[in-house]
Structure 1
Amino acid sequence: MSGVSLAVAPRTEPDQTITSGTKVQPKPLPHQQQQAVAGGVMRSLRVIELQLVAFIMVFSASGLVPLLDIVFPAFTTAYLIALSRFAFPSHGRTSGSQEIFHGSRLFRFYVVVGTTVGLFLPLAYVLGGFARGDEHAVRSATPHLFLLSCQILTENIISGLSLFSPPVRAFLPLLYTVRRIFVVIDWMHDVWLNKTLPANSEFQDMAWFWFGRGLAAANFVYFSINIFCFLIPRFLPRAFERYFREKDEMHAKIEEDKRSAAMNKSQQADKKAD
């Protein structure tokens, strides 16, 4: 969700062979076991996210999402395709993993916290609003869920496609996060200024009221940190670094092929002269 589908993946170690050519399965080291477990957790998390996306997209289409937020995913997709075609075309050659950023265990924990705060708890808040008949809560949190669902779905689609270069894939969470920050600000405005707690409210009503306020504020804090402390200073530069490194490698390979072809042509000419 903060670019998790594009940023996080378990590292793979090369196979080890003996001199006879028989492949030997090395005993996994402790850190490799930890990476495998973390990778399994992240894959399971993505499956859960995609299952929730289908559910969220259904009830988000019931008139609870403003027209601007409905149009935004289509505009973003068209813009990313244009970038991949004219500004940052893919080199067509990818070596190794498609992931841009290999995160540590602390970063994976950060992603899990973001998924909980940004997806699971808002979904529980919206469903609770349906159960309690709180239309105000449902309407204020649904646009955020809709945009996040579109982001998760798009990230999972383009993460394995070589059509999109690293900068284009990095722009995806950046654009969605910028838009969702403004949506979350509207959410905070609704629950902090437009919604009041009736006098002599019961404890459950008070808990629900402050849960909505705290959840909106938590999303604003998390995604503000995400864009200013991760996406812009770390994720985006890493994407451009990888893109231009691959570009330089491709040009170096082309020049090497040209030199080899020229040398072969020269040798053939010398043989004919002899």
Structure 2
Amino acid sequence: MSGISLAVAPRSDPDHGSEREPTAMLGGVMGSLRVIELQLVAFILVFSASGLVPLTDLAFPVATTLYLLAVSRLAFPPLHLHSPPTHHQEIFRGSRLFQAYVVVGTTVGLFLPLAHVLGGFARGDDAAVRAATPHLFLLSCQILTENVVASLGAAFSPPVRALVPLLYTVRRVFVILDWAYAVWAAGDGGALAPPAAAAWLWFGRGLAAANLVYFSANLFGFLIPRFLPRAFEKYFRMRDELCAKTAEDKQTRSGGHQLSSPPPVAVEQQQHDGDGDGAVVAGAAAKSVESKKAD
């Protein structure tokens, strides 16, 4: 959910099918979410048509996509190196503990809010549904964007891939703040409220607070200080490798041209040898003339 899927290398290498790397890219977990990709598209359409998502949040994915395309073409174009696909895809390699952290984020950020929205529809709690829906809409758009970028592979450079979770997470933190304010500012429904109603209210409050804590920590503790610098470092290292390879190819081609023409020393030696042969022939002719005169 926080973008980790884009940083991960493929689950298995085609040449080494039995090897699986313990990799993850924070926030996305796209490998496990591809199964419900069509459902996410359906959610996006439903949320867009329901009127529960503000216009600014509806326009955010469009503006973000246009910005990413512009950055990919103008600022950080893709670098094409002759290397395995994993060399282009992998940005951050996480441990098993990190994978568990990503699973927790997927549960807190996607599955529980989805259950909360569906439960709000069933209970007729329009306020809870309206508060949580923008977060789910933006998260669904983020997952689909990460899927597209990951499927295109080397068509997008590491900085562009890192910007996808970063931009969406920044926006969703503000959306979650509005969600938390909406549910915590609501009244308790009376001191004599049924236990089920009180449990539902505190479930919504706890879920909003958990999302705010998780994604704020993810943004300020991982994406900005670790993930984004790693993406830039990888990009500039790839650019240096490409420049070095280009210079080496030019040097190789220039060396080949030099070998195709004889060196100056060899030309001079050939001229010297030719002059020597001419002198020998002239000497032999002179001796022949002298012998004829003697006769």
The whole-number CA distance in structure 1 between the counterparts of 2:243 and 2:237 is: 10
Q: Tell me the amino acid that sits aligned with residue 218 of structure 1.
A: A
**1:49, CA displacement in angstroms?**
4.5
Deviations for 1:80-123, whole angstroms, at most 9, x for unmatched residues? 11111111111133633112112111111111100100000000
**1:195, CA displacement in angstroms?**
4.4
The whole-number CA distance in structure 1 between the counterparts of 2:31 and 2:5 is: 12
Task: Show the counterpart of 1:80.
Answer: 68
Which stretches of structure 1, 4 residues or longer, exceed 6 Å deviation after superposition? none
Structure 1 residue runs without a partner (length 5+): 17-24, 37-41
The whole-number CA distance in structure 2 between the counterparts of 1:33 and 1:209 is: 43
Structure 1 position 123 matched with structure 2 position 114: yes
* Structure 2 counterpart of 1:102, from 93, 114, 120: 93
Q: Tell me the amino acid that sits aligned with residue 221 of structure 2.
A: C
Please show how residues 151-166 of structure 1 align to structure 2 within 5 Å.
Answer: 151-161=142-152, 162-166=154-158
* Structure 1 counterpart of 2:37, from 37, 50, 71: 50
Structure 1 position 170 matched with structure 2 position 157: no
**1:153 and 1:217, CA in 2 relative to 1: closer, same or farther beyond 3 A?**
same
**1:255 and 1:240, CA in 2 relative to 1: closer, same or farther beyond 3 A?**
same
**1:14, CA displacement in angstroms?**
8.9
The whole-number CA distance in structure 2 between the counterparts of 1:253 and 1:44 is: 34
Q: Tell me the amino acid that sits aligned with residue 224 of structure 2.
A: I
Question: Paired residues, what number?
Answer: 256
**1:199, CA displacement in angstroms?**
3.3
Structure 1 position 3 matched with structure 2 position 3: yes
The whole-number CA distance in structure 2 between the counterparts of 1:181 and 1:94 is: 39
Task: Show the counterpart of 1:241.
Answer: 233
Q: Tell me the amino acid that sits aligned with residue 6 of structure 2.
A: L
Is the Cα contact below 8 Å between 1:65 and 1:142 reproduced in 2?
A: yes
User: Could you say what secondary structure the match of 1:241 adopts?
Assistant: helix
The whole-number CA distance in structure 1 between the counterparts of 2:10 and 2:161 is: 19
Is the Cα contact below 8 Å between 2:47 and 2:53 reproduced in 1?
A: yes
Deviations for 1:47-92, whole angstroms, at most 9, x for unmatched residues? 2452441232132121100000000000111111111111111113
**1:163, CA displacement in angstroms?**
2.0
**1:236 and 1:266, CA in 2 relative to 1: closer, same or farther beyond 3 A?**
same
Q: Tell me the amino acid that sits aligned with residue 43 of structure 2.
A: I
Is the Cα contact below 8 Å between 2:188 and 2:198 reproduced in 1?
A: no
Is the Cα contact below 8 Å between 1:6 and 1:101 reproduced in 2?
A: no
Task: Show the counterpart of 2:292.
Answer: none
Give the TM-score taking structure 1 as reference length: 0.86
Larger Rg: 1 or 2? Answer: 2
Give the TM-score taking structure 2 as reference length: 0.80
**1:72 and 1:14, CA in 2 relative to 1: closer, same or farther beyond 3 A?**
closer
The whole-number CA distance in structure 2 between the counterparts of 1:263 and 1:79 is: 44
The whole-number CA distance in structure 1 between the counterparts of 2:244 and 2:31 is: 40
Structure 1 position 260 matched with structure 2 position 249: no
